[in-house]
Amino acid sequence: MTDPVMKEAIENQIRCFGQTPSQLLTDPHPPRSSVMHLTPMMFTTVQDDVCMIMKFLSNSPVTHVAANTHPAVPGPAVTTITCNHNFAINKWNATYQQGATPTSFSSDKKEETPALPLAMDQLLVLNTGLHRRTLGDNFDQRLKVTQSSFVTTADNRFIFACGFWDKSFRLFSADTAKILQVIYGHFDVVTCMTRSENNLNQDCYIITGSKDCTVMVWMFTSRNQAIIGDNGSLEHPTPKATLTGHETEVTCVSVLAELGLVISGSKGGPCLVHTLNGDLLSSLEPPEGCCSPELITMSREAFVLVKFEHGHLCNYSVNGNLLRHVTHKDSIQTMILSRDGQYMMIGGDGGVVEVWRSHDLTLLYTYPTCDSSIRALSLTHDHKFLLAGLATGCLLVFNIDFNKWHHEYQERY
């Protein structure tokens, strides 16, 4: 180049942005519709289904699993709660690499195995401080303990529990099991509860359903680390809204704060869609032959999945239209959605965990049969592991890869 100004400009451009090479590849590009283009996942490493098995000495069914494993959480952990109301804060190993050999880990062993993704709660491993891992015995024994009997906050520091005979629900410290707050509002026993999704150190909604046929909306504030009432009181908080319309006891609740919606089901009745302010929007009527709704979840695309008695699975639009209805042979005990709402994971008394495509209720994958009923499911934040609580007091960690179903079924709903 003879022009010094142009030469300097080109040199600066190369220095800042790099220089375009004359050739990138020596091999020809694969043709369109090649094997690699059609099924790219066939060339990836296949993971074992079962990553890890953890056994608790209590042998009590694990009925609640909450995997708060995001790196931003000060103590990433998986919280498990059993039928006898004991709980464990099991430390999550964020540096774990997939592909390790499946290993069992029991609370009667004194050492930790570093290659595992999960380490059992040290208070259980060492058999010390067990009084710090129980929620007490003031529960109404008539109620079945389920996944929706408890709520764990996103930072693993607090646990909400319902089902107390005095018609309250309570806030516990996960570290000490101390009761931090006792909240009254319902006129009968609280049967189920859930919380809205939220980031760390953010407020969230707590939704409770009761035998008194009502659903209540509460606000948990990170600043106060407690339920604060609509009246501003911490000692005697009042709900932000009371949702009415059910004629029998409420059996399941779900909330989607982004759309301001609460959906609840009652024994022998329909599922009702309310706003967070208490306005009734629509009713999801069960198909012929379906009885009481038992499990309910809602996607960000505003479709609702309901599991009724006797294995009926239904997909509704939020305005009440029934989109899909199938009958499952198993007695389903737990049901969750992936974060994008495309996939549904279910488990039941048959000991089988299944992955379904949620919008058309198509079965995609079945994991190996477990030796007991599946009582609770949860996904880690990166959607690479699926955790299952079993009736034998075990916690299973499954490898899961949604990409293989994404590539296999490319159509979007």
DSSP 247-268: SS-EEEEEEETTTTEEEEEETT
Q: Mean pLDDT over all residues of the chain?
A: 88
Lowest-confidence pick of 52-61, 150-159, 283-292: 283-292
What mean pLDDT do residues 172-183 have?
95
Structure tokens, 313:
């699975």
Q: How many CB atoms lie within 10 A of CB 102?
A: 14
pLDDT of residue 98: 64
Find all residues with CB under 8 Å of 320, minimum gap 6, and list them. Answer: 273, 282, 283, 284, 285
What is the rounded CA–CA span in Å between residue 151 and residue 85?
13
Cα angle 47-408-69, degrees, rounded to a multiple of 5? 45
Residue 160: is its pLDDT beyond 90? Answer: yes
More reliable by pLDDT, 413 or 218: 218
What mean pLDDT do residues 292-301 have?
92
DSSP 54-83: EE-TT---EEEEEEE--TTSSS-EEEEEET
pLDDT band at 115 (very low <50, low <70, confident <90, very high): confident
pLDDT cut 90: percent of the chain above it? 66
pLDDT of residue 412: 47
Residue 77: is its pLDDT beyond 90? Answer: yes
pLDDT of residue 262: 97
Cα dist. 74→94, 153, 239, 272 in Å? 12, 13, 30, 37
- Please report the beta strands in 229-339, taking only residues with DSSP state E, as ranges in sequence order: 241-243, 250-256, 261-266, 271-275, 280-284, 293-298, 303-308, 312-317, 322-327, 332-337
pLDDT of residue 113: 44
pLDDT of residue 99: 54
More reliable by pLDDT, 122 or 404: 122
Q: What is the pLDDT of residues 366-383, one digit of tens each?
A: 999 999 999 999 999 999
Q: Are 180 and 158 in contact (CB under 8 A)?
A: yes
The pTM of this model reads 0.84
Taking every pair of Cα atoms in the chain, the longest distance, rounded to a whole number of angstroms, is 92
pLDDT of residue 112: 46
Q: How many CB atoms lie within 10 A of CB 86?
A: 17
pLDDT band at 274 (very low <50, low <70, confident <90, very high): very high
CATH 2.130.10.10 residue ranges for the chain: 139-327
C-alpha 236, offset from chain centre: 30
Q: What is the pLDDT of residues 301-329, one digit of tens each?
A: 889 999 999 899 999 998 889 999 999 99
pLDDT of residue 48: 83
Q: Are 254 and 306 in contact (CB under 8 A)?
A: no
pLDDT band at 105 (very low <50, low <70, confident <90, very high): low
pLDDT of residue 19: 72
pLDDT of residue 46: 56
What mean pLDDT do residues 377-405 have?
94
pLDDT of residue 38: 47
Q: Are 153 and 79 in contact (CB under 8 A)?
A: no
pLDDT of residue 200: 78
What mean pLDDT do residues 350-355 have?
96
pLDDT of residue 413: 41
Q: Are 296 and 284 in contact (CB under 8 A)?
A: no
pLDDT of residue 37: 47
What is the rounded CA–CA span in Å between residue 392 and residue 349?
12
Lowest-confidence pick of 91-105, 145-159, 164-178: 91-105
What is the rounded CA–CA span in Å between residue 290 and residue 138?
34
What mean pLDDT do residues 91-99 have?
81
What is the rounded CA–CA span in Å between residue 317 and residue 413?
13
Q: What is the pLDDT of residues 7-52, one digit of tens each?
A: 888 888 888 877 777 666 666 665 555 544 445 544 455 568 999 9
Nearest to 369 by CA among 349, 394, 340: 349
pLDDT band at 117 (very low <50, low <70, confident <90, very high): very high
pLDDT band at 260 (very low <50, low <70, confident <90, very high): very high
What is the rounded CA–CA span in Å between residue 370 and residue 352?
6
pLDDT of residue 126: 82
Q: Are 92 and 77 in contact (CB under 8 A)?
A: yes
Return the H-helix or E-strand segment holding 127.
none
Nearest to 87 by CA among 162, 167, 169, 150: 150
More reliable by pLDDT, 285 or 28: 285
User: Torsions phi, psi of 92, nearest 5?
Assistant: -90, 135
Strand order of the β-sheet with 332-337 is: 332-337, 343-348, 353-357, 362-366
> What homologous superfamily is domain 139-327 in, according to CATH?
YVTN repeat-like/Quinoprotein amine dehydrogenase (2.130.10.10)
Cα dist. 394→61, 76, 117, 171 in Å? 8, 20, 15, 26
One-letter amino acid for residue 253 of the chain: V
pLDDT of residue 397: 96
Residue 409: is its pLDDT beyond 80? Answer: no
Task: Give the β-pairing of 394-399 and 50-55.
Answer: antiparallel
Residue 157: is its pLDDT beyond 80? Answer: yes
pLDDT band at 238 (very low <50, low <70, confident <90, very high): very high
